[in-house]
Amino acid sequence: MMHTNLIGKTVLVVEDDPKIRHLIKIYLMKEGYEVIEAIDGHDAKEKIEQLDPCILVLDLMLPKISGEEICRWVREDLTSMMPIIMLTAKASEKNKIEGFKLGADDYVVKPFSPAELMVRIEAVLRRTANRCSKLSFTGFTIKPIKGEALFKGEKLELTHFEFKLLHTFMQHPNQVLSREQILNFIYENNEKAVTDRTIDVHIKHLRGKIREKTPKDYIQTVRGMGYKFVGV
């Protein structure tokens, strides 16, 4: 099972074969990743600039712009350290060396095992955890470093505590969290500024701000246990 701190990471899958792209997407979504798809090199450049994914799974033999050119563009033009896993039928040692020289973090040869690809993605994300500055889940995006929270691209105006609450929920999606657990996640060294019951008020306010954007109740009350942040 994937470690909690990887849940919500956004993966851009650049692959022109729809069957392979769909297969990878299914496996990624099962593991809790948010998946963006690109069908060619031009589409990939647009998605990278617009959506700033946490990791790139990149086929090399692409229409319009090759995977090698995309990798070079990310590293040299964007000067981005976005993790890149090359996924390709180019299996020679020379191809692999060229891929790593271009800036790839890993190199997976087709045909490949989807389960192994998931492990490799997880391993790369663990090694490069400091390169991803956002977390995404079911339409929500949170940028802890910038203190920004968005729902489907629209900014949520949250207090500091509400922001911490949403961040905690997004790090533990589909898990029932007690009030005590939530406070322990938010405050270090047990330095709690609010009581267990006060948290209900903050969650009520957070729910209200979310409902200004959508009627869906993403934060569910689990009677006698706590709260659960759910997906679609």
Residues in contact with 209: Cβ distance below 8 Å, sequence separation at least 6, in sequence order: 156, 157, 158, 162
Regarding whether 24 and 111 lie in a shared domain, the answer is yes
Which residues of the chain register pLDDT less than 50? Answer: 1-4, 189-191
Tell me whether residue 57 is in a domain: yes
115 and 39 inside one domain: yes
Residue 225 lies in a domain: yes
Q: What is the pLDDT of residue 6?
A: 56
Burial of 44 (0-12, 13-18, 19+ CB in 10 A): buried
| Same domain (yes/no): 118, 177 | no
Entry pTM: 0.64
Calpha distance 152→161 (Å, rounded): 21
- With respect to residue 31, please indicate whether it lies within any of the assigned structural domains: yes
184: left (phi over 0), alpha (psi -120 to 50) or beta: alpha
Judgement on whether residues 126 and 29 belong to the same structural domain of the protein = yes
Provide the terminal-to-terminal Cα distance of the chain, rounded to the nearest Å.
Answer: 21
CATH of residue 100: 3.40.50.2300
User: Which helix or strand (DSSP H or E) is residue 39 part of?
Assistant: none
162 and 113 together in one domain: no
Query: Phi, psi at residue 194, to the nearest 5°?
Result: -135, 160
CATH code for the domain of 175: 1.10.10.10
What local confidence, expressed as pLDDT, does residue 195 receive?
66
Assess if residue 171 is contained within a domain: yes
pLDDT score recorded for residue 70: 96
Instruction: Assess contact for 105 and 125: CB atoms under 8 A.
Output: no
Range of the domain at 172: 158-229
Number of domains in the chain: 2
